[in-house]
């Protein structure tokens, strides 16, 4: 029977019947155990500055290598956390861990890199969201100006006005706002038209479309630049794509062509080479 206990929250007072679509080994207890044991960690994917060819920053990406069940994708892990309301708690762990590690790295560098953390739209619904982040960042001593939140629009998002207000609040702290996966799914032009965000990430699907219609992508980059946001291209796998994007004035590039996501230890290694 349908009752609140077998429904999961989908935001904006929408509910969906919980149909056990998650494997039973993905549960809060197993997640917490894996965090404890180090089977859940953060990987980092560098973002390359097209002008200087140097690493400008990194994006934290959660990884779960379970001893028993193997690799569990972020989409499964984050999806589970979103649907059970565990995302706020997991999200705090992610921010804390990422800030701690990147602070440790930055303390060894002359030129500090910035840190992007993915935020689920469900986290924005938590009243305490921004205060929690401010507390964590302060406690660790991480420079707020170096932190960027990557937000993806989804179909259950709060009203445009509410999001606008949340973005303003985030920006007033010095923390930066990035729109992830732009050009895919639900992202609308409203986002880049009105929000004064710091960065737009062009989705991999648009990067793949580049060779079909370069002028379209060039115009998109120009359009984004009129809002003063930086443009990052995601999922760049080939030299031809990199070269196109460079000529078109794309600011930053992320993708396997430059770097794959890597462990914190690998990041420490490659950063040293990059900054010499
Ligand atoms: P995203 O934020 O758009 O991250 C980019 C995804 O593309 C990552 O997948 C990355 O590994 C992958 N990628 C990067 N370059 C390339 C490339 O050149 N080719 C291909 N084929 N893929 C590339 P990943 O790590 O599996 O993460 C998937 C999504 O899960 C992320 O998409 C993000 O939405 C979510 N996610 C990952 N980590 C976190 C997290 O810590 N918190 C939250 N809330 N979401 C996360
Ligand atoms: Mg992202
Ligand atoms: Mg993305
Ligand atoms: Mg993407």
Question: Mind listing the pLDDT tens digit for each residue in 194-238?
Answer: 778 999 999 999 999 999 999 999 999 999 999 999 999 999 999
- Compute, in angstroms, the gap from residue 62 CA to the centroid of ligand 4: 14
Minimum-distance ligand to the CA of 59? 2
Q: Please give the pLDDT value at position 225.
A: 96
Q: Closest ligand 1 atom to the C-alpha of 123?
A: 44
State the Cα–Cα distance between residues 197 and 228, nearest whole angstrom: 8
Query: How buried is 80 (Cβ within 10 angstroms: 0-12 exposed, 13-18 middle, 19+ buried)?
Result: buried
- Say whether pLDDT at 5 is over 80: no
Q: Is 45 in the pocket of ligand 1 (CB under 6 A)?
A: yes
Q: Is 74 in the pocket of ligand 1 (CB under 6 A)?
A: yes
Residue 262 is classified by DSSP as B
Q: Please give the pLDDT value at position 10.
A: 52
Q: Please give the pLDDT value at position 152.
A: 87
- Compute, in angstroms, the gap from residue 12 CA to the centroid of ligand 2: 23
Q: What number is the ipTM of this complex?
A: 0.98
- Compute, in angstroms, the gap from residue 99 CA to the centroid of ligand 1: 18
- Say whether pLDDT at 3 is over 50: no
- Compute, in angstroms, the gap from residue 117 CA to the centroid of ligand 3: 11
Three-state DSSP at 69 gives coil
Please report which confidence band the pLDDT of residue 7 belongs to, taking 50, 70 and 90 as the band edges.
very low
Q: Is 120 in the pocket of ligand 1 (CB under 6 A)?
A: yes
**For the ranges 3-17, 103-117, 153-167, which has the lowest average pLDDT?**
3-17
- Say whether pLDDT at 2 is over 70: no
Give the helix/strand (H/E) hosting 92: helix 87-106
Q: Please give the pLDDT value at position 272.
A: 84
Q: What is the mean pLDDT of residues 81-105?
A: 97
State the Cα–Cα distance between residues 235 and 41, nearest whole angstrom: 22
């Amino acid at each position: 029977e349908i009752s609140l206990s077998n429904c999961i929250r989908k935001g904006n007072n929408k509910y969906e019947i919980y149909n056990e679509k998650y494997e039973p080994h993905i549960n809060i207890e197993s997640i917490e155990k894996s965090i404890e044991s180090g089977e859940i960690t953060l990987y980092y994917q560098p973002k390359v500055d097209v002008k200087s060819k140097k690493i400008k920053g990194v994006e934290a990406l959660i990884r779960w290598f379970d001893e028993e069940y193997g690799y569990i994708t972020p989409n499964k892990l984050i999806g589970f956390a979103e649907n059970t309301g565990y995302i706020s708690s997991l999200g705090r762990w992610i921010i804390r861990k990422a800030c701690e590690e990147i602070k440790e790295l930055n303390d060894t560098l002359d030129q500090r890199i910035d840190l992007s953390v993915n935020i689920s739209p469900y986290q924005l619904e938590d009243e305490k969201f921004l205060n929690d982040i401010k507390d964590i960042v302060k406690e660790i001593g991480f420079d707020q100006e170096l932190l960027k939140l990557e937000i993806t629009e989804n179909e259950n998002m709060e009203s445009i006005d509410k999001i606008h207000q949340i973005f303003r609040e985030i920006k007033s702290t010095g923390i930066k706002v990035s729109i992830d996966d732009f050009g895919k799914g639900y992202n609308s032009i409203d986002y880049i038209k009105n929000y004064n965000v710091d960065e737009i990430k062009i989705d991999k699907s648009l990067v793949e479309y580049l060779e079909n219609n370069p002028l379209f992508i060039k115009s998109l980059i120009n359009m984004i630049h009129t809002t003063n946001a930086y443009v990052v291209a995601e999922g760049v796998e080939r030299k031809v794509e990199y070269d196109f994007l460079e000529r078109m004035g794309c600011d930053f590039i992320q993708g396997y062509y430059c770097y794959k996501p890597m462990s914190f230890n690998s990041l420490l290694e490659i950063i040293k080479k990059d900054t010499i």
